[in-house]
Each structure stands twice: as structure tokens, then as C-alpha cells.
Structure 1
Amino acid sequence: MRDYSRRMHAMETLKYLLIPLRGAALVLVVSFSILLLLAAHGGLLGLPLALLVVSWFFKYGFALLDRVADGVNEPPVLSYEMVNPVNESRPAGLVLVVTIFYVVTAAMGAWFGEEAVTLLRAAGLVLVPAVIMTQAAGSFAQALNPLVLLQVILRVPGSYALVLAVLAGAWWLATMLVTWLPAAELPLSIEIPLPETVRIFILMYAWLASFAMLGGVLYVRRHELGFEPSRSPEREAEKAQRERERQIDMLVDRIFAEWRGGAYGNAWRAIQTHLESSSLPGEDLKDLFERASQWPDPRLAYRLAQELIPRLLASRRTGDALNIARRQLRSDDQFKPLDGSDTIKLIELARDAGDRRTARMLLQGFSDRYNDDVAQRIAGELARQLER
């Protein structure tokens, strides 16, 4: 089951391949491909343009990764904040890591031979996506730790292999297209190297697609990787819970003021109005019951318990419903739910749980309180069973 879940998570990352083909990302890939082509044919004059485009492109890749890692599946628009070197230093850090690794392995060639260096560099290339993920989820120092990088790979092996496959497949396709596609000519005899243009486009797309997939892996497998996005279902639920607790606090203050002043009807109407507009009326009612149970006056808790028990039984939270009834019976041995059928259910639950005392307390005065003939007949049968 765990392996199946991992495979499903890995396949889920494939959907992020489409993100660079939408909106601002697609426009950026097309325009930057043309600019790089112009820079390549501009000689030394094109070098500043090439450096500028590559720098912006790498920074956009990290911006795309961050956005997807936060659960947003739309590419960002290139802005000044993204390309500002002060705001984004991770691309420079990645280039520095790769450069240092290349220089060190080159120096090792004299001792271990070229074959060993080639294998070591191949292993280093495999670790590059892990370095990028660690930079996004952790820190630059952690991205230099091989053990941390291996842990990242081992936690998401299927997804990581897909990212490597995308990069390898894109490189192979881009290389093949150089051979297959002829050069195209525009009017006025302006020749356009179509194979090189397509190759640049594919490689730039593959780079952004890889960053989008890495961001998707960070988001989808955030629990395994220990990553906390700024947006996630957990954070949204936590935020909603805090807001709900704030509203409950305000409601309790209002109810307490009304109840203390003797305006019991106003207090109960405030509760009903809140429950009608609440997205979680059952949970709110339970919270109100817990708060009211701490008050010296037990009457409101009594009434809330009567409202709460039917909701709990309807949602099959039978254990919670029985516990509420037990709590109320400890403070008032005459407690009964509003409906006879709900009382029968509680009696049966208590009997099945071996709590005959609670069952007998709920049976006391049953016929005096409820007029339902069917419920009274069932209650009589239950009473005979409990006497055995």
C-alpha cells in the first residue's frame, strides 16, 4: 500500500509539466529563446544580452519553484523583484556549487583517472535537483551536505526519478531536433536556424518544467520532506480554526452577558443565529457546550446537551453522544434528551457498553416525559432486559 501511494504521488508530479506552457511562463520561454538566439549570433556584442537573459531565466525558475511549492499552479509574471540580485541569490549559489564541484573533480583526475572523474560528475549531476530542492526548503549550507541530499532522494525516489527523466528526455529530444529540422528562410533571404531555435526552446521549457516538478514534489510530499509551504490545506485549516475560535469567544462573551442579565431568550436566539450561519454547526455547538459546562449555572449546558446529542447520533458519533449524556447525568440525574428515540438509542448504547447504571438512569421517568407509544414499548422491553 505504501509503495502504491508513492507511485501515485510520483505520477501526480507529471501534471506540473504543463505549468511552463501556460501564461507568463510560455511567453517568457518564447521571448527568451529568441533573445538567446540573437545573442548567439551577435558575437561579443551579444554576450551581455546572453548573460542578462540567462540570469533572469534562472531567477525566474526559482520564483516558479517557490510559487508551485506554495500550492499555486499558475506561473508567476516576471517582475523586478524576481530579477533583483539582492532579493534572489540562489541561482548564483547553485552556479557556485556546480563550479566548485567541477574544479575539484578536475583536480582529482590526476590521482583517480578520467573514468572515475566522469562517474563522479555524473553522480553530481544526479544530485543537482536535490540541491535545488534543499535550497528551496532549507538553506544553502544544507544543500552542500551530501547526506541531506541523499535523504531528500530516498524520501521521494519515484518523483525524483521522474524529474531526472524529464531532463534527460528533453536533452535527447533537443539534440535530435538539431539533426532532423532544416533551417528555415524568411522573405528577404533572412535565414533562421530553426533547429537551434527549437532546441533552445525545448531546453528552456525542460528547465522550467523541472523546477515546476520540484516545486510540486515539495508541495505534494511536504510531510515526508519536512517542508512547510506558506499555503497548504493544513495552514488553511489552522487559519480557519483560529477564526472559528475567535468567533466562538465573541459569541460566548455575548451569551454570558445575556444570561447573567436574565435575558435567557436572547442568549438562546444568539446561539441559534450563529449555528444557522456556521459551516460547522456541530463543532460550534460542542465548543459552546464545553464552555457552558464550566459555568456555575448548569441550565445552559443542559439545553446545549439536548441540542448536541441528536447531531452527534445523526453523524454516527455515538461514543461522543453517550459521553455527553453521562456528563449531564452526573450533574443532574434527571437529564433526558428532547426526543424519545434519541433516548432509546443512548440506552441501547449504554447497555451494549456494559454501562447499566447510565441505561437505568435514562430509563427513569421515561413514560412521564415522552408520549411516543412505540418508544415507550421499546423502553419497557429495555427495562426488562436491564432487570435480568
Structure 2
Amino acid sequence: MKMLLYPLRPSPLLLILVTSFMIWLLFVDLIFLLLFLNVVPLTIMALAYCKYLFVILERTANGYPDPPVLSYEFIKPFGDFRPYQLVVLLAGVYTLSAWLWQRDLDYLAIILVAFYLGTLPALIGLLGLRNGFLPSLNPVTLMRFTYRAGAVYWALCGVLGLGFMLILLLYRSGPGLFAAIFATLYSLVLIFHWIGRVIYAKRQELDYRPDNSPERAAEKAAEMLLQKRKHCLERVYKERRRENVLAVLMTHIEAEQDKLAAHAWYHAQMMLWDHKKLAVRHGFFYVRALREAGKHIIADLIQQECQAVDPDVAVE
């Protein structure tokens, strides 16, 4: 239910309403001058709307739940060619299928149309992820995308077909033209948002790395932890001849959530130094922590490693 309300948030709703009204003006019986004056603004708004659809897809696929805010960047004719590429593709499929029908090759035309209608969400997804126009047309790439997306992809195709049937019914019934146009633009926003959600949900199967995901957050946390450890190790190395330097090191280790991992990292790094006295002193605490955790085999190995450096030093 929450997903159905996505197009009704302020930014997409405003764009849908304005674009729907301008399209509606093309079909109403107004004076020619008003129709002529509407062409340029409609072209700008249609371009902005198409660009906004791909930004919605990209933002959703990157793990952000809120729609993008409107910006003047959307009315620039160049910079993002994905809407043009999609229009060219749809026009190409239509032209080729019409050519096949004219030559009584109905079965080939039906296969062509059915294939690209079935893979249209995949094509939109590949274009949205900036996969490139020609690579996105590759049937193998399209089928790989649909296969990796799984059953949820075909559910999306089913809802897509059902949605356009409802739009057609809406157009032919009471609410009329404006409601049908609004429903169409609403559905397109919903479809692009849903494709983005599919990409995000199947990111591992699709080999996609979104900007905002648990995996990326874990990577950033690991990188921050590594930098923190390196900073601590640099300080310890500079003060390695002081008596209290081991206490400084243990304070940093105790502050970490995974203390055994911290012990292991610092021990491995200090064993690379030319003077390993501090590493051996730290080995006492490392071995004790390992034995408390029940990792006796690793504790024995660390003990042997430390005693190989200094046989006279007890590490437990």
C-alpha cells in the first residue's frame, strides 16, 4: 500500500498534474493559438517527466525510499539521453513489427512485440542503471536480467499489463480523458519505482552495488574501523619504547565490539615490525582472550609464535 502512494508525494504529484494538464489541452477543443502556445511548454514538461522517471528508478535502485526533488536539471534537453534511447527503441520495435505485418509475417511480428513487451521492464532497468543503449538491447542481457530478477519480475509484468487495462477501461468510462492521462502518468511513476525496488531487492543476483545498502554501510564501517586501527597503530609504533604504550593499545582494543578481531589485527601488524617485543607482550592478553573464547588451537599457535620470538617470555 505504501508503494502505491509513492507517486502521490509532493514532487512526483506536482509533475504528474502539470504534465497531465498540458497533455489534456492537446485534446480539448480550444482555439488554435492556445494549442500552439502549449506545444513548447508541453515538450519541456514531457522531457522533464521522462527524465524524472529514470531518476526515480536510479534513486530507488540505490536504496533511497523518498522520491527525488524537482530540479531545473530536468528541463535541460541534453545531459541524460536515456529517455531518447527508450523512445528510439519503442519506435524501432513499432516500425519493425509494422513492416513484418505488411509482409504477412504475422508470427514474427507477434514474437517480436511479445518479446520486447515482456522484457520492457528489464530494458528500462538496464537503461536506468546506465548499462548503455546497445548493450541493453542484447537479448541475452535482457533474458539474464529477467532470470536473475526471479518471479517478482514476472509479477511486475502482470501488474503492468493489468494496470494498462484499467487505464483503458478508465478512458472509456465515466471519468474521461484527464483521469486516463493522470492514471497513465501515475502508473509510469509507479512502474519505474517498482523496477528500482526489484533491482534493489535483487541487487546481489544482478551484481549491482547500490549507494545505500546494508552491504555498503558495512563496507564503510569496516573502512572507518580500519582507518581508526591504523591511526592507533601509528601512535603505538611511535611510542613503542614507553612502558604505558601497551595500556594505550589495550584501551583501543577493549573499545571495539569484536575484541578478538582487534587482537588478531594488531598482533599480525606488530609481528611485521623489526622489533617484536611489544607484539610478544601483547600476545599474553591475546592468548588469554582466545582461551576465554574457547579457541585453544589458535591460542596455542599464537603462543608458539610469540615464544619463537622470545623463548623466555611467558604468554599465558
The TM-score with structure 1 as length reference comes to: 0.70
Aligned residue identity for 2:218: A
1:219 is the counterpart of 2:200:
yes
The Cα shift of 1:133 comes to 1.5
Q: Please tell me whether the aligned partners of residues 170 and 202 of structure 1 are also in contact (alpha carbons under 8 angstroms).
A: no
Aligned residue identity for 1:40: F
Aligned ranges for residues 1-388 of structure 1 at < 5 Å? 16-41=3-28, 42=30, 44-45=35-36, 46-114=38-106, 116-137=108-129, 138-180=131-173, 182=174, 194-259=175-240, 262-265=241-244, 267-312=245-290, 320-332=298-310
Q: Please tell me whether the aligned partners of residues 35 and 50 of structure 1 are also in contact (alpha carbons under 8 angstroms).
A: yes
The Cα shift of 1:110 comes to 3.1
Q: CA RMSD in A?
A: 2.8
* Long gaps (5+) in structure 2: none
After superposing on structure 2, the runs of 4+ consecutive aligned residues of structure 1 that deviate more than 6 Å are: none
Q: Render the CA deviation track for 1:218-262: whole Å, top value 9, x for unaligned.
A: 222222222233343333333333332222222222111211xx3
Change in Cα spacing, 1:47 to 1:85, as seen in structure 2 (3 Å) is: closer
Change in Cα spacing, 1:231 to 1:316, as seen in structure 2 (3 Å) is: farther
Aligned residue identity for 1:72: Y
Number of paired residues? 310
Q: Render the CA deviation track for 1:189-228: whole Å, top value 9, x for unaligned.
A: xxxxx43333223222221111112112222222222223
Of all paired residues, the percent bearing the same amino acid is 26
Q: Please tell me whether the aligned partners of residues 19 and 42 of structure 2 are also in contact (alpha carbons under 8 angstroms).
A: no
Aligned to 1:352: none
Q: Please tell me whether the aligned partners of residues 47 and 74 of structure 2 are also in contact (alpha carbons under 8 angstroms).
A: no
Q: Render the CA deviation track for 1:116-139: whole Å, top value 9, x for unaligned.
A: 424422322222212112223311
Find the residue that maps to 1:225 and give its secondary structure. Answer: coil
Q: Please tell me whether the aligned partners of residues 45 and 75 of structure 2 are also in contact (alpha carbons under 8 angstroms).
A: no
Find the residue that maps to 2:208 and give its secondary structure. Answer: coil
Distance in 2 between residues matched to 1:24 and 1:66, nearest whole Å = 16
Structure with greater Cα Rg:
1
The TM-score with structure 2 as length reference comes to: 0.84
The Cα shift of 1:108 comes to 1.7
Aligned to 1:190: none
Distance in 1 between residues matched to 2:246 and 2:123, nearest whole Å = 59
Aligned residue identity for 1:86: F
Distance in 2 between residues matched to 1:310 and 1:82, nearest whole Å = 62
Change in Cα spacing, 1:331 to 1:263, as seen in structure 2 (3 Å) is: closer
Q: Please tell me whether the aligned partners of residues 280 and 315 of structure 2 are also in contact (alpha carbons under 8 angstroms).
A: no
* Long gaps (5+) in structure 1: 1-13, 183-193, 339-388
